[in-house]
Amino acid sequence: MKRNVIKLKESDLTKLIKRIISEQTSACEVHQGAMATQNSTNPQLGDAGINQNFVNNMAGKSSQFHNSRAVAFMDKITELNNGMSPLFCTGQNPYWQAKLFNKKVYAENCIANPGSC
């Protein structure tokens, strides 16, 4: 069986290894502006992602509806962030993540406090 062999200079191989290690171990840089727009406890109308249309759509719905929305918002955040942690990484749509995060928490609060939405 014939194998294809790529010959690299030692310096090129060293650079390649360092690059791979760097890519695998680099932490995200949290976008402070996006981090400041999320409300992790009680997002309200006017907070990032919480507009009147969203509030109206959430009103009077079942806990099952709110739960499915919360899960969908978290799934989208995870997708935007490429499964990385923490959230709101620069270059990974941090403001969109913050809006989705507020919507997720809002939906979770609707579940925790039935009739409040």
pLDDT at 5 over 80: no
User: Which parts of 5-93 fold into alpha helices (H)?
Assistant: 10-25, 32-37, 52-58, 63-80
Q: Which residues make Cβ contacts (< 8 Å) with residue 44, sequence separation at least 6? A: 50
CB 93 within 8 A of CB 39: no
Other C-beta atoms within 10 Å of 116: how many?
10
Do the beta carbons of residue 62 and residue 114 sit within 8 Å? no
Confidence check: pLDDT of 22 > 80: no
pLDDT at 45 over 60: yes
Within 10 angstroms of residue 47's Cβ, the number of other Cβ atoms is: 18
Q: What pLDDT, in 10s, does the model give residues 54-105?
A: 999 999 999 999 999 999 999 998 888 877 767 888 778 899 999 999 999 9
pLDDT (tens digit per residue) in 75-87: 998 888 877 767 8
Quote the percentage of the chain above a pLDDT of 70.
75
With tokens 């509806």, the residue in question is 65
% of the chain exceeding 90 in pLDDT: 50
Q: What is the pLDDT of residue 31?
A: 87
pTM score over 0.85? no
Residue 30 pLDDT class (50, 70, 90 cuts)? confident
